[in-house]
């Protein structure tokens, strides 16, 4: 399975003409863990959602190449996209309370997803739901299966979300700021869980985040985005040798317990980065 | 506050950049300019909606007609001409005459005054009252909220028609009865709306920040919360007025509103409904006028709602 | 050493749940205390009770030696101000920046409004040309600067900071933290900052209080936290987690 993105552009119509939010992004993703890091407005979320064609109605997407395992996403219609979304590619977003149906129990939702993509009877689907909840390291799967989304904590909700996304056995998981709203300790657990699942199932992982150090811990490669462009692509282990001033700026402006300072270094933005 | 130099530099922008760029500038130079810019942006968005603009223009025309009725009318609306009763539309009487020979076109124009006048009067009473009661109840909470909401419930329970009949029996039939009956029953939804909005806004951080300035509760409600409730109230008003027009016409049709010879549209339909088969235009034309007025307010309300409370995709 | 803030056995209850359980601490004049903890630890609740936003608490709170009642006086609000977490929610959506900044001055009857607004904006490095903009016309970082300007415009003595940079981009966070440090120094302010990011809180504050499940489990200096001279196991765990994230470029730094 390989995702190939070449010269992806996403623009929005506005009263003042077009606004380009993604300005020619190119990358490939195989069975690996890729992180896309950027601040707000960098276009990282839009890039990830373009792969699944989940852009807002007003957005207009163009690319030289946009393929998912050979399937041409750029020209695919809704029927073809439905075969990929959920089934072959899962999407986990920031707040599980917004992504989960508030009036259905967790177990019912996971079972429904299972049945939609894999078929099978109700009992079979519910058993599968318990098993999935167990795989995401929820201690009491049966109790959680009967619970509703608002009864769960942030971390549990995300685990439930991951379980639901894993039901159809997808080839890639896209996590869009999936841990940004969680406590630091829970964040680490969820990412470790994702890491494990991805390795044992042979899935690919696309991790979108604003947290560069965090992403570089859990990914093999990192793309750094700024103002709609990829300014640097590097191996996670090479983070210290980052060349681009923006990447270096992102690392250097972080407060650190190990290296305290009187004044934090601030980012000196340059127009050259958006040239 | 703008100084002399600010004013002259604003005027310069007006002349050189054009008033459009003055409105849409990123750096307004006074609060007035900022507010004007915001209103202008809202207007631009509203004007993109063709249906809403249709409603708006129609209403503008109707208000113009109401104001200029004496200039636009061809005849005196109350002059009877029994020799020319129920005449079809012709060069002399553009929309024909009614059962007493009165010119329908002129009566229609003067009727606009009555209908729109009633609508404006009712809204002017109902919206501020509901907004005030709702905001105070929503912010104060506790027993103040409970009492005000029970009062609201009581008025909500009154049926408009029965109340109008009661007023007619107590006072005499006329516009006062209609306005009173509708006003007394139309304000509760606004109170509820304002209260619901207030209860949400109350918990916002910016209200906490204002509480932290030591501002009094009345200052918070009047200066900070009520302005935010105005948009939903305006939308609701525009949508409600269409219903108010219909209700007023209905009460007029039942004989409780403006009395003869007043050219109120509902009464015009009532008095001529016997002629609907042969001289169909006589009751139909006022009916069409009611329909157009009601629809225009409805379209305006929809357009305003899209501007104030857009449902993004 | 002057005590600016004293908190004694503060408890806060929501419905039937004890969210803050008999917390006690004090803050010296000109000092900065950071309260760290995870969600549900009660740290924000403590701050809101101190600010006077929450009036159902028990225990004792003293500012400059004077006890405060749940219902605060206007004078209290002159001396104690707060900056909120969400830059998008802490400014009135229909008021221009200038109006937002004028409000505290109007309520307290402070004159010379225009000059003070201009000064406040320049202190937080906001161009004066922006003063008639609406909040939605500003970026997150700019909104937070307005919030800080608003908090400082009536010249308070104490600033309560509720996760002031959590919702900001990393590069903007650095600018705002620098600004807060500058303000504290130039105006001799006392800070209490709440946050979950240990590194950010330790950067700004000299003392750290660690909260867990409504209790203050440890109080230590920022220096001790950095040097791992930690008594409590929960604090140690938080320190290690912060390290986890730090480590990726500490090892490369030479």
Domains of chain B (ranges; CATH) run 59-308 (1.10.3720.10)
Gap from A77 CA to chain C (nearest CA, Å): 36
Touching B: C residues 31-90, CB under 8 Å: 51-53, 72-74, 76-78, 81-82, 84-86, 89-90
pLDDT in tens, chain C (254 residues): 578 899 999 999 988 888 999 999 999 999 999 999 988 889 999 999 999 998 889 999 999 988 998 888 888 999 999 999 999 899 999 999 999 999 999 999 998 999 999 999 999 999 998 999 999 989 999 999 999 999 999 999 999 999 999 889 889 999 999 999 999 999 999 999 999 889 999 999 999 999 999 999 999 999 999 998 988 999 998 888 887 655 555 443 43
Chains in contact with C, where contact requires at least 3 CB pairs less than 8 Å apart:
A, B
pTM for the full predicted model: 0.86
What is the SS3 assignment for C195?
Answer: strand
Residues of C in contact with A250 (CB under 8 A): 170-171
Q: Which residues of B194-233 are buried (b: 16+ CB within 10 A; e: fewer)?
A: bbebbbebbebbbbbbbbbbbbeeeebbebbbbebbbbbb
Q: Omega before B261 cis (within 30°)?
A: yes
Give the tens place of pLDDT for each residue, B292-303: 999 999 999 989
Question: Which of the residues C174, C186, C197, C201 would you substitute to probe the A interface, choosing the one with the greatest number of A C-beta atoms within 10 Å?
Answer: C174
**Contact: B313, A15; criterion CB under 8 Å:** no
Residues of A in contact with C140 (CB under 8 A): 40
Retrieve residue B188's tokens: 């509760």
A59: nearest CA partner in chain B? B313
Read off the pLDDT of each residue in A193-213 and give the average, rounded to a whole number: 91
Give the tens place of pLDDT for each residue, B199-257: 999 999 999 999 999 999 999 999 999 999 998 999 999 888 988 888 888 888 888 88
Count contacts between A and B (CB, < 8 Å). Answer: 5
Residues of B in contact with C133 (CB under 8 A): 26-28, 34
Could you give the count of Cα atoms lying within 13 Å of C50 in the half-sphere of its Cβ? 35
Gap from A32 CA to chain B (nearest CA, Å): 33
The band of B188, judged by pLDDT with boundaries at 50, 70 and 90, is very high
Touching C: A residues 128-147, CB under 8 Å: none
Phi-psi region of B254 (alpha: psi -120 to 50; beta: other; left: phi over 0): alpha
Give the Cα separation of B32 and B63 in Å (integer).
Answer: 28
Question: Which of the residues B141, B212, B227 would you substitute to probe the C interface, choosing the one with the greatest number of C C-beta atoms within 10 Å?
Answer: B212
The band of B29, judged by pLDDT with boundaries at 50, 70 and 90, is confident
Residues B233 and B188 sit within 8 Å (Cβ to Cβ): no
Retrieve residue C78's tokens: 């002159």
The band of A204, judged by pLDDT with boundaries at 50, 70 and 90, is very high
| HEC letters along B257-300 | CCCCCCCCHHHHHHHHHHHCCCCCHHHHHHHHHHHHHHHHHHHH
Residues of A in contact with B44 (CB under 8 A): 15
Decide if B44 touches A, using CB distance below 8 A.
Answer: yes
Decide if A213 touches C, using CB distance below 8 A.
Answer: yes
Structural domains present in chain C: 3-91+156-215 (3.40.50.300)
**For residue C156, how far is the Cα from the chain centroid?**
13
Give the Cα separation of A237 and A224 in Å (integer).
Answer: 14
Residues of B in contact with C92 (CB under 8 A): 206, 210, 224, 228
Give the tens place of pLDDT for each residue, B266-294: 888 888 878 888 888 888 889 999 999 99
DSSP class of residue B121? Answer: H
Q: What percent of chain B has pLDDT over 90?
A: 40
Segment B95-101 long-range contacts (CB within 8 Å, at least 24 positions apart): B95/B281, B95/B285, B96/B279, B96/B281, B96/B282, B98/B268, B98/B271, B98/B272, B98/B282, B99/B271, B99/B272, B99/B275, B99/B282
H or E stretch covering C17: strand C17-28
Concatenated DSSP letters of A69-126: TTEESTT--HHHHHHHBTTTEEEE-S-HHHHS-TTS-HHHHHHHHHHHHH---HHHHH
Triad B26, B29, B30: Cα angle to 5°: 120
Chains in contact with B, where contact requires at least 3 CB pairs less than 8 Å apart:
A, C
What is the SS3 assignment for C119?
Answer: helix
Chains in contact with A, where contact requires at least 3 CB pairs less than 8 Å apart:
B, C
Read off the pLDDT of each residue in A146-173 and give the average, rounded to a whole number: 91
A266 vs C174, C203, C237: nearest CB: C174
Gap from C63 CA to chain A (nearest CA, Å): 29
Residues of C in contact with B219 (CB under 8 A): 107
**Contact: C245, A213; criterion CB under 8 Å:** yes
The confidence score (pLDDT) of residue C155 equals 93
B27 vs C76, C77, C130: nearest CB: C130
H or E stretch covering C161: strand C158-162
Give the tens place of pLDDT for each residue, C141-186: 999 999 999 999 999 999 999 999 988 988 999 999 999 999 999 9
Residues of A in contact with C198 (CB under 8 A): 257
Q: What is the mean pLDDT of chain B?
A: 86
Decide if A154 touches C, using CB distance below 8 A.
Answer: yes
ipTM field: 0.90
**Contact: B44, A58; criterion CB under 8 Å:** no
Question: Which of the residues A15, A16, A59 would you substitute to probe the B interface, choosing the one with the greatest number of B C-beta atoms within 10 Å?
Answer: A15
**DSSP β-bridge partners for residue C57:** C12
Touching C: B residues 187-216, CB under 8 Å: 204-206, 208-215
Q: Which of B40-44, B193-197, C248-252 has the highest mean pLDDT?
A: B193-197
Tell me the H-state helices in chain B. 4-17, 19-24, 31-47, 50-72, 104-140, 142-157, 160-170, 175-186, 188-201, 205-211, 217-219, 226-253, 265-272, 281-308
The confidence score (pLDDT) of residue B5 equals 43
**Contact: C154, B213; criterion CB under 8 Å:** yes
Nearest to C184 by CA among C211, C161, C210: C161
């Amino acid at each position: 399975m390989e995702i190939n993105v070449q010269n992806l552009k996403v623009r929005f119509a506005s009263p003042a003409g077009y606004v380009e939010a993604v300005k020619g992004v190119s990358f490939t993703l195989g069975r690996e863990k890729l992180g896309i890091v950027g601040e707000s407005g960098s276009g990282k979320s839009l890039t990830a959602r373009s792969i699944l064609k989940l852009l807002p109605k007003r957005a207009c997407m163009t690319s030289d190449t946009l393929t998912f395992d050979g399937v041409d996403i750029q020209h695919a219609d809704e029927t073809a996209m439905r075969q990929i979304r959920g089934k072959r590619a899962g999407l986990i977003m920031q707040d599980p309370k917004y992504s989960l149906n508030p009036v259905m129990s967790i177990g019912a939702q996971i079972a429904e997803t299972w049945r939609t993509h894999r078929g099978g009877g109700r009992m079979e689907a519910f058993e599968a739901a318990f098993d999935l909840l167990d795989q995401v390291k929820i201690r009491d799967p049966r109790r959680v299966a009967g619970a509703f989304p608002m009864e769960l904590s942030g971390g549990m909700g995300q685990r439930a979300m991951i379980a639901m996304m894993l039901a159809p056995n997808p080839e890639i998981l896209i996590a869009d700021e999936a841990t940004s709203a969680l406590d630091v300790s829970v964040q680490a657990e969820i990412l470790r869980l994702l890491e494990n699942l991805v390795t044992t199932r042979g899935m690919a992982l696309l991790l979108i985040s604003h947290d560069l150090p965090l992403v570089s811990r859990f990914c093999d490669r990192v793309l750094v985005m700024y103002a709609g462009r990829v300014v640097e692509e590097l191996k996670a282990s090479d983070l210290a040798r980052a060349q681009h001033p923006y990447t270096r700026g992102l690392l250097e402006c972080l407060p650190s317990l190990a290296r305290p300072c009187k004044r934090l270094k601030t980012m000196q933005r340059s127009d050259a980065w958006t040239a | 506050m703008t100084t002399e130099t600010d004013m002259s530099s604003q005027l310069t922008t007006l002349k050189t950049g054009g008033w459009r760029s003055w409105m849409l500038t990123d750096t307004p130079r006074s609060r007035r300019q900022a507010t004007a810019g915001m209103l202008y942006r809202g207007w631009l968005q509203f004007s993109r909606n063709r249906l809403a603009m249709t409603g708006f223009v129609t209403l503008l025309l109707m208000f113009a007609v109401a104001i200029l009725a004496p200039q636009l009318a061809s005849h005196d609306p109350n002059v009877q001409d029994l020799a020319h009763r129920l005449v079809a539309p012709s060069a002399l009487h553009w929309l024909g005459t009614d059962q007493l020979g009165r010119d329908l076109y002129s009566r229609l124009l003067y009727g606009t005054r009555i209908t729109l006048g009633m609508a404006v009067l009712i809204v002017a009473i109902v919206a501020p009252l509901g907004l005030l009661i709702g905001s105070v109840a929503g912010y104060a909470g506790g027993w103040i909220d409970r009492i005000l909401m029970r009062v609201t419930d009581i008025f909500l329970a009154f049926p408009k028609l029965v109340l109008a009949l009661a007023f007619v029996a107590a006072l005499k039939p006329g516009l006062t009865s209609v306005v009173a009956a509708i006003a007394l029953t139309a304000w509760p939804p606004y109170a509820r709306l304002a209260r619901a909005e207030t209860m949400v806004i109350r918990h916002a951080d910016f209200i906490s920040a204002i509480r932290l300035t030591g501002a009094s509760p009345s200052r918070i409600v009047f200066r900070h919360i009520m302005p935010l409730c105005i948009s939903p109230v305006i939308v609701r008003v525009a949508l409600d007025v269409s219903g108010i027009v219909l209700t007023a016409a209905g009460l007029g049709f039942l004989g409780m509103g403006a009395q003869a010879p007043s050219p109120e549209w509902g009464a015009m339909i009532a008095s001529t409904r016997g002629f609907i088969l042969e001289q169909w235009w006589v009751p139909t034309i006022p009916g069409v006028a009611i329909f157009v007025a009601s629809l225009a307010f409805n379209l305006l309300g929809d357009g305003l709602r899209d501007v104030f409370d857009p449902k993004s995709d | 050493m002057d005590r600016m803030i004293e908190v004694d056995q503060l408890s806060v209850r929501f419905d039937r749940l004890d969210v803050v359980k008999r917390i006690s601490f004090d803050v010296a004049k000109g000092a900065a205390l950071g309260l760290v903890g995870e969600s549900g630890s009660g740290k924000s609740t403590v701050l809101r009770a101190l600010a006077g936003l929450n009036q159902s608490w028990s225990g004792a709170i003293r500012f400059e030696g004077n006890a405060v009642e749940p219902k605060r006086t206007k004078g209290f609000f002159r001396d104690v101000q707060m900056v909120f977490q969400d830059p998008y929610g802490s400014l009135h959506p229909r008021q221009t920046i200038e109006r937002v900044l004028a409000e505290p001055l109007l309520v307290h009857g402070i004159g010379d409004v225009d000059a003070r607004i201009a000064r406040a904006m320049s202190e937080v490095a906001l161009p004066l040309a922006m003063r008639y903009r609406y909040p939605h016309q500003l970026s997150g970082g700019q909104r937070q600067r307005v919030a800080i300007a608003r908090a400082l415009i009536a010249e308070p003595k104490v600033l309560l900071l509720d996760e002031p940079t959590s919702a900001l981009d990393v590069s903007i966070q650095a600018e705002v933290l620098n600004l807060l440090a500058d303000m504290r120094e130039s105006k001799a302010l006392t800070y209490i900052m709440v946050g979950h990011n240990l590194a950010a809180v330790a950067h700004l504050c000299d003392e750290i209080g660690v909260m867990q499940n409504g209790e203050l489990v440890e109080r230590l200096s920022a220096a001790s936290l950095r040097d791992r001279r930690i008594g409590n196991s929960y604090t140690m765990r938080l320190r290690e987690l912060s390290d986890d994230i730090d480590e990726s470029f500490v090892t490369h730094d030479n």
